[in-house]
């Protein structure tokens, strides 16, 4: 059995059970493991730094291209060429179009609930952080995007409902790139050279996608949609499949209980090949030996610099700050994860192994988050920190922890200064 066959078998089992995971950055938030390990003896949590993406949203724009597939399917319906399933797909896309009107880019109720649930677990797992009578201030940052600000409101609303007497300080980045506050949630300003270098990386990813998807057809999809699939060109079937997938990715987070979703129309194998195109593109944000991506350096490094500054200020015994929360977008979250770099964001594999090494739904789902939990003990013991990716404790690639998942904060800063800051 070849490596690619093994990779495919793993993916098929995931998409057979959870087809909507193929939505990747639109699949909906799911905490993988929220187990809290026991801290070293004598240590207690006292400060938390979080950066999170906005929650699940409606389609981000009213781009007509999203729904042209409905017109394409209607063309075949007029010729009596669609099966009942094909007609159902056409009607589902039309319904999603109507539901999206007036809501483009907005946070869904599911998206708000995702943030409320993350906050609730945070308070339950680390009550000591919010119980200190001398630390009652929570500083929050948000981009200017309304769905990001609404995500912050859902999160802090849950927090104030659970913990009384907190002082919530809300800050927002300004619209212009170099104005006050932008670095807090988007990182350093990217130069033209940075952007050109990033484009070159994207070109190489296109080649990887083509390699991984080479030679696949959508005969099973065609048989479900068309009465006589042999009368429809394979190229047309593939285009319809890709367009349908692009629209159906939003179904599970827009109206999760109202519409069937992609599992109704595609086999797990077809979902896998459609998913590759949206998943592998995130690799351009990752790190590898001898390679530092422009996005990771500028966006991730810039945000990390702010996280370090805030944390160091919070370490002061006179600081009133219990937590700092940042709310942003997926294209800033991935560079932060790679800049740290969290386990799984540093590539140690060949191009063809990427789908087994990195799955976007485990990292970039709506409401994805990185949490730094800081611990202290009496006396001169060093401050420790542990890292959570989507609430799961994780490690830093290339740096040894003091014990378990706990790192010396000073060692982390030295590591970042050498690598990224």
pLDDT, tens only, 366-390: 999 999 999 999 888 999 999 999 9
pLDDT in tens, 248-276: 888 777 766 666 778 899 999 899 888 88
Distance CA 183, CA 185 (A): 5
Residue 415 lies in a domain: no
Q: Is the pLDDT of residue 225 over 80?
A: yes
Determine the pLDDT at residue 5. 55
Q: For the residues 161-181, what does the mean pLDDT come to?
A: 71
408: left (phi over 0), alpha (psi -120 to 50) or beta: beta
Distance CA 328, CA 161 (A): 23
Please list, in sequence order, all residues whose beta carbon lies within 8 angstroms of the beta carbon of residue 251, skipping any fewer than 6 positions away.
20, 92, 96, 259, 260, 261, 262
The last residue of one of the domains, among 265, 291, 324, is 265
Residue 403 lies in a domain: no
Determine the pLDDT at residue 83. 97
Q: Are residues 54 and 9 in the same domain?
A: yes
Q: Are residues 283 and 211 in the same domain?
A: yes
Q: Are residues 239 and 286 in the same domain?
A: no
Q: Are residues 176 and 89 in the same domain?
A: no
pLDDT in tens, 10-34: 677 888 888 888 888 888 898 878 8
292 pLDDT tier (thresholds 50, 70, 90): low
Q: For the residues 77-88, what does the mean pLDDT come to?
A: 96
Residue 405 lies in a domain: no
Q: For the residues 59-65, what does the mean pLDDT come to?
A: 70
Q: Are residues 226 and 367 in the same domain?
A: no
Residue 7 lies in a domain: yes
Q: Are residues 135 and 43 in the same domain?
A: yes
The last residue of one of the domains, among 265, 285, 300, is 265
The number of distinct structural domains making up the chain is 2
Residue 420 lies in a domain: no
Determine the pLDDT at residue 209. 64
pLDDT in tens, 333-351: 999 999 999 999 887 877 6
Written as one string, the DSSP assignment of 140-179 is EEE-S-HHHHHHHHHHHHHHHHHSTT-EEEEEE--SSTTS
Burial 134-163 (b: 16+ CB within 10 A, else e): ebbebbbbbbebebbbbbbbbbbebbeebb
Determine the pLDDT at residue 193. 75
Q: Are residues 206 and 318 in the same domain?
A: yes
The last residue of one of the domains, among 247, 265, 283, is 265
Q: Are residues 169 and 289 in the same domain?
A: yes
SS3 assignment, position 105: coil
Cβ-defined contacts of 376-382 (< 8 Å, 24+):
376/43, 376/44, 376/46, 376/315, 377/40, 377/42, 377/43, 377/44, 378/42, 381/42, 381/43, 382/408, 382/409, 382/410
pLDDT in tens, 295-326: 787 888 999 999 999 999 999 889 999 999 99
pLDDT in tens, 108-120: 999 999 999 999 9
Q: Are residues 261 and 275 in the same domain?
A: no
Q: Are residues 171 and 318 in the same domain?
A: yes
Please list, in sequence order, all residues whose beta carbon lies within 8 angstroms of the beta carbon of residue 117, skipping any fewer than 6 positions away.
none
Distance CA 187, CA 321 (A): 22
179 pLDDT tier (thresholds 50, 70, 90): very low
Q: What is the mean pLDDT of the chain?
A: 86
Q: Are residues 249 and 283 in the same domain?
A: no
Residue 23 lies in a domain: yes
**175 backbone dihedrals φ, ψ, rounded to 5°:** -70, -40
176 pLDDT tier (thresholds 50, 70, 90): very low
pLDDT in tens, 105-150: 899 999 999 999 999 999 999 999 999 999 999 999 999 899 999 9
CA angle 297, 300, 303 (to 5 degrees): 125
175 pLDDT tier (thresholds 50, 70, 90): very low
Expressed as residue numbers, the domain containing 348 is: 3-58+106-216+266-391
Q: Is the pLDDT of residue 223 over 60?
A: yes
Residue 41 lies in a domain: yes
Q: Are residues 170 and 209 in the same domain?
A: yes
Determine the pLDDT at residue 178. 39
Burial 184-213 (b: 16+ CB within 10 A, else e): bbbbbebeeebeebbeebeeebeebbeebe
285 pLDDT tier (thresholds 50, 70, 90): confident
Residue 404 lies in a domain: no
Determine the pLDDT at residue 173. 61
| CATH number for the domain that contains residue 14 | 3.40.50.1240
């Amino acid at each position: 059995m070849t490596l690619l066959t093994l990779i495919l078998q793993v993916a098929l089992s995931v998409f057979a059970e959870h087809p909507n995971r193929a939505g990747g950055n639109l699949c909906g938030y799911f905490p993988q493991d929220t187990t809290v390990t026991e801290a070293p003896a004598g240590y207690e949590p006292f400060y938390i730094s979080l950066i999170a993406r906005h929650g699940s949203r409606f389609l981000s724009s009213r781009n007509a291209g999203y729904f042209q597939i409905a017109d394409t399917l209607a063309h075949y319906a007029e010729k009596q060429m669609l099966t009942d399933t094909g007609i159902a797909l056409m009607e589902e896309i039309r319904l999603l179009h109507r539901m999206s009107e007036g809501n483009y880019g907005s946070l869904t109720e599911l998206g708000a609930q995702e943030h409320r649930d993350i906050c609730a677990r945070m308070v339950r797992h680390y009550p000591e952080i919010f119980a200190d009578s001398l630390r009652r201030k929570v500083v929050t940052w948000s981009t200017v995007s309304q769905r990001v600000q609404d995500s912050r409101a859902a999160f802090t609303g849950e927090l104030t409902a659970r913990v009384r007497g907190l002082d919530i300080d809300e800050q927002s980045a300004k619209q212009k790139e170099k104005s006050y506050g932008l670095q807090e949630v988007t990182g350093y300003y990217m130069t033209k050279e940075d952007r050109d270098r990033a484009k070159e990386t994207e070109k190489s990813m296109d080649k990887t996608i083509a390699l991984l998807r080479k030679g696949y057809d959508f005969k099973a999809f065609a048989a479900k949609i068309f009465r006589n699939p042999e009368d429809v060109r394979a190229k047309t079937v593939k285009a319809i499949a890709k367009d349908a997938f692009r629209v159906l990715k939003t179904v599970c987070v827009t109206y999760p209980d109202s519409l069937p979703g992609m599992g109704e129309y595609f086999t797990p194998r077809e979902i896998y090949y459609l998913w590759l195109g949206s998943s592998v593109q995130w690799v351009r944000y990752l790190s590898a030996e001898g390679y530092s991506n422009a996005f990771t350096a500028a966006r991730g490094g810039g945000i990390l610099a702010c996280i370090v500054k805030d944390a160091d200020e919070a370490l002061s015994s006179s600081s009133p700050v219990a937590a700092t929360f940042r709310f942003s977008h997926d294209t800033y979250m991935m560079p932060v994860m790679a800049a740290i770099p969290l386990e799984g964001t540093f590539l140690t594999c060949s191009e063809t192994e990427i789908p087994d090494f990195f799955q976007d739904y485990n990292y970039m789902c709506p409401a994805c988050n990185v949490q730094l939990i800081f611990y202290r003990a009496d006396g001169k013991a060093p401050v420790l920190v542990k890292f959570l990716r989507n609430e799961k404790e994780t490690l830093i690639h290339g740096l040894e922890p003091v014990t378990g998942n706990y790192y010396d904060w000073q060692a982390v800063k030295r590591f970042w200064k050498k690598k990224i800051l």
